[in-house]
Each structure stands twice: as C-alpha cells, then as structure tokens.
Amino acid sequence: MSDATKNFTPPTLPFIDGEYRKPAAGRTNPLTNPATEEVIAEVAAADVSEAAAAIESAFNAWQKVWRDLAPGRRAGILFEIARMIRANAEELAVLETTNIGKPISDARDEIELGARVFEYYAGAVSKFYGQTIPVARGGFDFTIRQPMGVVACIVPWNFPFPIASWKVAPALAAGNVVVLKPATLSPLTALKLGELACAAGLPPGVLQVLPGSGSVLGDVLVTHPLIRKVSFTGSTEVGRRIMELAAGDLKRVSLELGGKSPNIVFADSDWKRAADTSPMSVFANTGQDCCARSRVFVERSIFEMFLDRFVDATRHLVVGNPMDTATQIGPLVSASQRESVEEFLDDARHHGSRFVCGGARPQCRGYYLEPTVLTGVGHGDRCWREEIFGPVVCVMPFDDESSMIQEVNASTYGLSGSIWTNDLRRALRVARAVESGVLSINCHNSVHVEAPFGGFKQSGLGRDLGMAAMEGYTELKNVYVAE
C-alpha cells in the first residue's frame, strides 16, 4: 500500500442495508494508484443477484421509512450528511487522489462541492411544492410532485464524488431511495459516502452502494422493475445503450454524456486573459472532463499572438505528484486511458497536424502524458471531431462569426463552452446561437450548484444541479377537486 493511503483504510466491500457486506462470490477488482502504478486496494464486486436484492431492500426502505418521513426530518438528515462530509473531507480527498490521480487540491475542492450540494438540496426540501392552477371548469386544481421510488444512479470515474452527490442528494431530497453504482475504477469515495450518510442518520437501505463493473451490473440496474429512474453520467455510447434498455418498460432516464466543447475567442476580448486561463479549461483533471474546452476558435487577427501566449501558459502548468498541493496536472486514470489518448495523437501525426507543444510521455512512473497543443487540424480529423478525454487541445483560427458558429454546431455534442468578447450584443448573439446546454462568457465556469447543468444533442438529456435536477426525480401529478 502506498504512503498516502496508510492513514486511511480504503473501503473494499459493497455498502448494503447500512453496513459493509461481503459478497457471496469472491470476485474483486484491483485498484491501481495511477501516479505510482501500485495496487492500493482490492474491491469486492457485487453480483447480479446481490444487486437485485439491494434494489428490493431499498424499495422496502422507501415504503416503510423514507417516502413518508416528514420533510423537515429528511432535510435534517441531508444537512447532517453535509456536515459529516466536511468532518471527513481529508480522508475523502486522499482516497480520491490515490484512487484516480486527481491533484489533491482539486480533490479537496470537489469534496467541499459535494458537501455544498447536500446542503443545497437539504434547504430545497422545504421550498419544493406544486401549484394551484385556475382551470376552465369551476373547482380547484392543484399539482403535487411525488417521489418515484428506487432510483439507480450510475456515475463515471472522472469526478466520482461530486457527480455522485449531484445525483444522490436531489434524489433523496425529493423522497426517493438510491442504488448508487460507482465506476469500476473509482468506487472508494462512493462507498465512504454510503457509510457517512448512514452515520448521519440516513436509515439503512435508503442509499445502497454497489461497486462492480457496468457490463455486469448495468442490465439489472436498468431493467429491474422496481427501478423507476436511471440517472446516468458517462460515455455517450453507454448512455445510448441505457436509453435503449430503459425503453423496455419506459423507465425515466437522465443522461449526462460526452462533450467536445468550444472556447471562442474574439479579437475584441481581453484575449490575453483568455490565453492565460484557457489551458486549465481543457487540461484540468488531465483533460478527463466532459466540459473540457478542447476546441479553441480564435479570430484570425490575434491567432498567432494568442497561440504563443496559450502555449507559454501551458508550459508553466505544474505536472507532477498529485499528492503535492502545487500540482495542477496529474496522471491519466489508467494505462489504457493513456493509450486511448495516444491513438488520437497518432492520428493527428498521420494527418499532418502541428504539435506546438507536448505529445510525449514524461520520463517518470505513472500514467502521465504531456499537455499537448495542436494546430493545423483538419475539420474531419478525429482530434477535432471526437471526445479525446485527455490533455489534448486543438487551437484553430476563424475568419467570420457565422461560419465559426456553423463549425461549432457541426459537433454531435453540445455540453459546454466559453465565449470571449467585450461586445455585449455579440456575446448574447453567439450565446443564443451555440447549441450547448451550458455556456460561460469571459470565463470558464460551467458548474454552479444552484444552476442546471446538462447537454444538448448527444451530450445527453435531463439536467443535474439546481431545482431542475430535483424536479427530474419526481412525477408530476395533477388533481382536480369538484366544487
């Protein structure tokens, strides 16, 4: 076991009905610290029959305890979960960093974000209600938002703790129970969340955490008749399969999927600030970010100056040991993720793209890859079209606004993006025209706990965060009372 995890024992068993429970079969998944390539834990995988039992017992907990609990008590437990997360923040952050190689300062911020999400939805419980509606017939018409029952939350490995909290907190706040499936590579903080939530007073069975592979557990989580909604974040490919399976009994689904987000820089903007800040908008989390601004569109008159400054800022990024608080860029999550990114780089070389910086593995242990800046990329090339999910950016010039927007919108994705301009009318015009669920003007902030987050087109459907997420975990009932 590596030094960093010596103080914190990683959880290694599924968390079911309020306790860590050893699965009947002895199948385990080894977890490797991507910075050291050492195995840090062997996590037992739940099998299909254990998943089905966990779903049934979650349903019992919903009927017997959670569904009818007074809203004030539900809110109180969620506030207490936020407090427990903060009290255990360092353990959660270290587990995350050693598990997936995320820089420790980012991991600390993400644990705090998770706590704020629980607080936000704890507060929302008492401010979430239906409407009274004047209707044509005399009488009284009103709506109620009702919980659905058991919700399956399936989350990826790139932001394990925040994305779990984005789903679990609003689902519980709306009165549902949750079966949470973390990614095979990153189960540690999800398991710990189950334990902390129970210690905070969440009744056993209300949050079940099932580590294991998606190809084994996915079908039962999506097709079990007691699951009423599947809330998924991950790749577009798996999202599509979940939607197909969910069609069987018309399960509700929300899907947060891939992205290929633009970063649009006009000559009239504070382009120096854009150049200084843009590298972290794509290289943060080693580019393993659905919101990564991986295509930079720069107005031609400033292109060369912008590119020089952007590359200079990229060369100053601190790549290194993720446990060091100065580190900004850690390793990729796994050897195979690095190989997948390198295939994109091979394709770029083959098609004659110019590597302005990066493109190689640094000489050290761990799954590192240098932040890579490409230009001269063809609009049909893989690096321009596909989600790379690694530290690679394409920076290209544009001549006029309308053909640039056409190229931005030619992507099958539409998740996030930035627009840099000091012309307010242009900012609003471009923001309206870009087909994307989330945009930021003169900055790169995509995520606000209070505001909806999600994609257009093949970046998904439904929204996380804000009150939109909570509505998505309810059925809307209309009741008419005759006078």
- Which residues contact ligand NAD by CB under 6 A? 154-159, 163, 181, 183-184, 213-215, 218, 233-235, 238, 241-242, 256-259, 290, 387, 389, 415, 455, 459-460
Is 97 or 459 the residue whose CB approaches ligand NAD more closely?
459
Is 208 or 321 the residue whose CB approaches ligand NAD more closely?
208
Give me the active site residues, please.
Answer: 256, 290
- The CA–CA distances, whole Å, from 62 to 7, 65, 69, 444, 455 equal 36, 6, 10, 40, 31
Is 18 or 414 the residue whose CB approaches ligand NAD more closely?
414
Q: What's the CA dihedral at 295, 435, 170, 255 to 10 degrees?
A: -80
CA angle 390, 394, 398 (to 5 degrees): 155
Is 221 or 356 the residue whose CB approaches ligand NAD more closely?
221
Tokens, residue 141: 């018409």
Is residue 384 within 8 Å of residue 340, measured between CB atoms?
no
Write down the least CB distance from residue 224 to ligand NAD, Å: 12
Q: What's the CA dihedral at 283, 285, 289, 294 to 10 degrees?
A: 0
CA-based nearest residue to 168, from 213, 202, 215:
202
Pairing outcome for strands 38-44 and 456-457:
unpaired
Write down the least CB distance from residue 149 to ligand NAD, Å: 19
Q: Name the amino acid, one letter, at 139.
A: G
Write down the least CB distance from residue 351 to ligand NAD, Å: 23
**Range 419-440 burial, b when 16+ CB lie within 10 A, else e:** bbbeeeeebeebbeebbbbbbb
Is 290 or 392 the residue whose CB approaches ligand NAD more closely?
290
Is 259 or 320 the residue whose CB approaches ligand NAD more closely?
259
Is 317 or 447 the residue whose CB approaches ligand NAD more closely?
447
Write down the least CB distance from residue 333 to ligand NAD, Å: 8
- The CA–CA distances, whole Å, from 386 to 251, 290, 294, 417 equal 29, 12, 10, 15
Tokens, residue 117: 């999400």
Write down the least CB distance from residue 239 to ligand NAD, Å: 7
Write down the least CB distance from residue 245 to ligand NAD, Å: 8
Distance of CA 73 to the CA centre of its chain: 29
Write down the least CB distance from residue 414 to ligand NAD, Å: 11
